[in-house]
Amino acid sequence: METTLIILKPDAVQRGLMGQIISRFENKGLAIVGCRMMTISQELAAVHYEAHKERPFYKGLVAFMTSSPVLVMAVRGVGAIDIARKMMGATFGSTAEPGTIRGDYGVSNSFNLIHGSDSADAAEREIGLFFNDGEVQNPSRAIEGWVYDMSGDQPE
């Protein structure tokens, strides 16, 4: 099992898409193990997006991400990082495939609805930025045997 950070960005929140997007993750079989609505501070946005600091879009990205509340989630499952990124679709809504979150709900090349960690290291770092100790749960889900083949030593 791995846990990834998902952020429903200001455009997703303002457009009332939170429930539909959360449902996609739950319908896929992934577990929401942490969730909070917040307005990201300038300082937190600067730390979260520090890898992009020298890029021309950085100032606009920080302004956008701090402009309105976001929904931050910790999402867990086998292969959760890759699965979530496939579900999100290509970065720009205008080129994202139908059936993906961005492909179904987005057209903008600036407002792209959702962020997802791109690696296990990034997920660990990002979850630590947005959640305090004890805020990400480790629930036992009765449905795991129906989501994953549990006949072996590891869920698959």
Q: What does the pLDDT read at residue 151? A: 85
Whether the predicted pLDDT of 116 surpasses 90: yes
Confidence of residue 142 (pLDDT cuts 50, 70, 90): confident
DSSP symbol at 113: S
Instruction: Identify the H or E element spanning 116.
Output: strand 114-116
- Residue 9: C-alpha distances to residues 52, 141, 156 (Å): 17, 28, 31
Q: Indicate the CATH number for domain 2-136.
A: 3.30.70.141
d(Cα 47, Cα 142) in Å, to the nearest integer? 37
Identify whether 115 is a catalytic site residue: yes
The answer to whether the pTM exceeds 0.85 is yes
Query: Among residues 9, 76, 102, 115, which one is catalytic?
Result: 115
